[in-house]
Structures are given as C-alpha cells and as structure tokens.
Amino acid sequence: MSAVTLIAHTEVGAGGAANITFSSIPAVHSDLWLVVSSRSTTASFAVLLGIQMNTDTATTNYSRTVLLAQSSGTVSSSRYAGGSFNYVGINSSAGSTSTTSTFASANVYITNYANSTAFKQVIGDIVNENNSTADYTMSLNAGLWAQTAAITQLVMFPASGNFAQYSSATLYGIKKA
C-alpha cells in the first residue's frame, strides 16, 4: 500500500473563494501534507495565509514562530503567542499586486494529526515569488494548535480578501510503516 494517499484537491473557480476547506478528514493516516498554490484578491504583494483546525476560532489556541525573508533582503524571526491570531499563519500568499499569473507555493505538514492526547504542531515553508528584488516573501513557519482533539477539518484562507481563481490546495495523507 502506498505511503502517500490523495485525500482531496480543490482548485478555485471563476469569482474566487473565501476559503478552501477539507472536512471529514479520515483518521487512518499518520500525518497530513498540504500542498498549496495561492493568490489573494487583496491589493498587496503579500497576504498572510491562515489555517484553522476543526471549527476552532479561539485566538488562545493558536501560536506560531516564523523565519522570514522579505523587502529587499531583510531577514527576521518573530513569534506570536496565543491570543494574537485565530489561525496558524504562513507568510505569505501572493496578492493582486503581485506579478500577473503568479501564485505562492507552500508545503505544510501536520504530523500525528489524529492523536487525541497531544497538541498539534504545524510546520510549513512557503515562497511568494514576484518579478521584483524588493517585493517578495519567503518563510519557514512553525505553528501550534493547543488542542488535543484529532484534526478532522482544515480551513485555509487568505488573511484578507479571497482566494483568486486558479488558487489550489491538495491534501495528502502520509502513512507510517
């Protein structure tokens, strides 16, 4: 049996979409792997990509740490404790002022997502290309969902605006031996 299983895939159609949701995620895998190609309708070259677990919108349950390169070569690292955002953020999706036809590219891993005894850790890398030496972002992100419940739903959205047409997300399950 293959170790990598396709769970679901969504591509945003004409008119865009407020979010991409994967629900009824089966508990049969070990880890989840999200592959995302995203562009927001917001007038910016960089829009934070948010991921919520299950139906939890409580800011106290989400925190993250990020290593970020942006803005003409600036490198920085930041951390956001619980209470800041009601999602795990990934820096960042492309926006409507990014180079035309250009979408950010991300890998997001959630290991041990179906266990019911530990908090859930999210790691993600994302590059937000732009035909510019000034306006771009790329980052490594670690996020915590401080809940022991198994993850059965993932909701992704740009922190402002909607997903533009042709944004896509693919969810895979990874099984251990």
* Site for another protein, residues 13 to 52, rule: CB under 8 A: 35-37
42, amino acid identity: T
How far apart, in whole angstroms, are the C-alpha atoms of residue 141 and residue 65?
A: 6
Token pair, residue 135, equals 């306006």
Least spacing, CB of residue 83 vs another protein, in Å: 28
Instruction: Decide if residue 129 touches another protein (CB under 8 A).
Output: yes
How far apart, in whole angstroms, are the C-alpha atoms of residue 3 and residue 48?
A: 31
Among 34, 104, 110, 151, binds another protein (CB under 8 A): 104
* Site for another protein, residues 63 to 102, rule: CB under 8 A: 67, 69-70, 72-75, 99-102
Part of the chain binding another protein (CB under 8 A), chosen from 22-30, 81-89, 130-138, 148-156: 130-138
Instruction: Decide if residue 127 touches another protein (CB under 8 A).
Output: yes
Instruction: Decide if residue 138 touches another protein (CB under 8 A).
Output: yes
Among 4, 27, 43, 146, binds another protein (CB under 8 A): 4
Q: Is the peptide bond before 37 cis (omega within 30 degrees of 0)?
A: no
Instruction: Decide if residue 136 touches another protein (CB under 8 A).
Output: yes
31, amino acid identity: D
Residue of 35, 34, 78 lying closest to 53 (CA atoms): 34
Query: Read out DSSP for 19-77?
Result: -EEE-S--TTSSEEEEEEEEBBSSSSS-EEEEEEETT---GGGEEEEEEEEETTTEEEE
Total interface residues for another protein by CB under 8 A? 44
**Residues engaged in binding another protein (CB under 8 A):** 2-6, 9, 35-37, 67, 69-70, 72-75, 99-107, 125-134, 136, 138-140, 165-166, 168, 170, 172
